[in-house]
């Protein structure tokens, strides 16, 4: 199948995978509407690039796309960042400040990791989306905004709604056009073309290629950190690569072995209660297994999260997302 390449503001989307091609077609159609788009996928699958693609294919392309990483913003600053504040609204508010919703007026706003949006502010976000108006912190006059929402989540928002950790009315407002994005391991045919593209990005002055054996090895690896992990691996390879990259030049984690039968037996004993519970759904059984794997990896690593992530063949950010999901991260 021929390679499809789509350029966005900060990079390029490359694929020859049938499912990804269908997703790009759907996103192009969605972009021409005004409905909210929700991108659903694991950390590192490229949701930000897809958000850029939706914006540039829309009628708002000439206006700003404001990108907000909610997981990286301190909660105490989030309200002011999104909605702005008036002078004197709080101690350090020495001047009036426009929020990101105002700055994206007649454009789009991308809220990444919307599953991390504080519950206490969700009503204010819902009003901005439904009434098209915001109120700055310390303000008394509503401000009209015309902003198209694109959001992304790495977890099942419906499960958060059921646990009352996410407002149901906000969920239905942002879930107008949900788009699940497959992880890289489910589109292994894209791995070699992405690796070669990234090699050209990191070593543009050198002629470097990847051998067939190395391509097969890269394609067999499950890439728990998805495209972000692939990018990091290729960047390391590119530092010292000359000519053709073969299997010995690949980093050691690509050859990590799966769990031994002894490990599997221990895990089976740990989870035998949930496996025998006929009232549990498949998702609940899998969640039980995942939790025990995380606990076991942390215990063996003496609490060292980086070491635990390496043993589970996943990126540190993915490990922390899963620890947070199972309330295993300190402070959650």
The structural domains of the chain, with segments of one domain joined by +, span 4-180, 187-255, 261-325
Q: Is the predicted pLDDT of residue 9 greater than 80, yes or no?
A: yes
> Which residues, 6+ apart, have CB-to-CB distance to 172 below 8 Å?
none
Q: Is the predicted pLDDT of residue 225 greater than 60, yes or no?
A: yes
The domain made up of 261-325 is a member of CATH 1.10.10: yes
Cα first-last separation, the chain: 45
Q: What is the mean pLDDT of residues 61-86?
A: 91
Statement: the pTM of the whole predicted model exceeds 0.85: no
Q: Tell me, what's the pLDDT at 332?
A: 57
Other Cβ atoms less than 10 A from the Cβ of 242: the count is: 10
Q: Is the predicted pLDDT of residue 255 greater than 80, yes or no?
A: no
Write out the DSSP string of 67-78.
EEEGGGS-HHHH
Q: Tell me, what's the pLDDT at 205?
A: 87
Other Cβ atoms less than 10 A from the Cβ of 94: the count is: 8
Q: Is the predicted pLDDT of residue 281 greater than 80, yes or no?
A: no
> Which residues, 6+ apart, have CB-to-CB distance to 203 below 8 Å?
238, 241
233 vs 254: CA distance, rounded Å: 9
Q: Which CATH class is domain 187-255?
A: mainly alpha
Residue with tokens 């890289």: 184
Q: Which residues of 199-221 are buried (b: 16+ CB within 10 A; e: fewer)?
A: beebbeeeebebeeebbebbbeb
Q: Tell me, what's the pLDDT at 256?
A: 55
Query: 4-180 is classed in which CATH architecture?
Result: 3-Layer(aba) Sandwich (3.40)
Instruction: Calculate the CA 313 to chain-centre distance.
Output: 17
């Amino acid at each position: 199948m021929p390679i499809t390449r789509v350029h966005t503001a900060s990079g390029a989307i490359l694929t020859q995978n049938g499912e990804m091609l269908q997703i790009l077609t759907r996103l192009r159609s969605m972009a021409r509407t005004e409905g909210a788009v929700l991108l659903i996928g694991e950390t590192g699958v490229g949701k930000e690039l897809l958000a850029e693609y939706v914006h540039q294919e829309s009628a708002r392309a000439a206006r700003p796309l404001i990108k907000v990483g909610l997981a990286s913003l301190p909660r105490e600053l989030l309200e002011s960042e999104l909605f702005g504040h008036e002078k004197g609204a709080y101690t350090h508010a020495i001047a009036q400040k426009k929020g990101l919703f105002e700055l994206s007026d007649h454009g789009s706003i991308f809220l990444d990791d919307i599953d991390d949006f504080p519950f206490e502010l969700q009503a204010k976000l819902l009003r901005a989306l439904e009434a098209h108006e915001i109120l700055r912190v310390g303000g008394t006059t509503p401000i009209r905004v015309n902003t198209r929402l694109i959001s992304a989540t790495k977890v099942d928002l419906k499960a958060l709604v059921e646990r009352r950790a996410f407002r149901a009315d906000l969920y239905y407002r942002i879930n107008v056009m949900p788009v699940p994005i497959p992880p890289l391991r489910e589109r292994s045919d894209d791995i070699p073309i992405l690796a070669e593209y990234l090699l050209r990005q990191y070593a543009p002055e050198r002629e470097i290629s990847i051998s067939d054996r190395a391509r097969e090895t890269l394609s067999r690896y499950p890439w728990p950190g998805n495209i972000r992990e692939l990018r990091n691996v290729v960047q390391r390879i590119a530092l010292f690569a000359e000519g053709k990259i073969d299997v010995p030049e690949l980093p050691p984690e690509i050859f990590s072995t799966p769990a031994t039968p002894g490990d599997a037996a221990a895990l089976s004993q740990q989870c035998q209660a949930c496996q025998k519970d006929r009232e549990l759904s498949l998702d609940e059984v899998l969640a039980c297994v995942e939790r025990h794997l995380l606990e076991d990896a942390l215990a063996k690593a003496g609490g060292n999260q980086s070491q635990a992530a390496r043993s589970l063949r996943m990126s540190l950010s993915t490990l922390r997302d899963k620890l947070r999901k199972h309330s295993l991260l300190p402070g959650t």
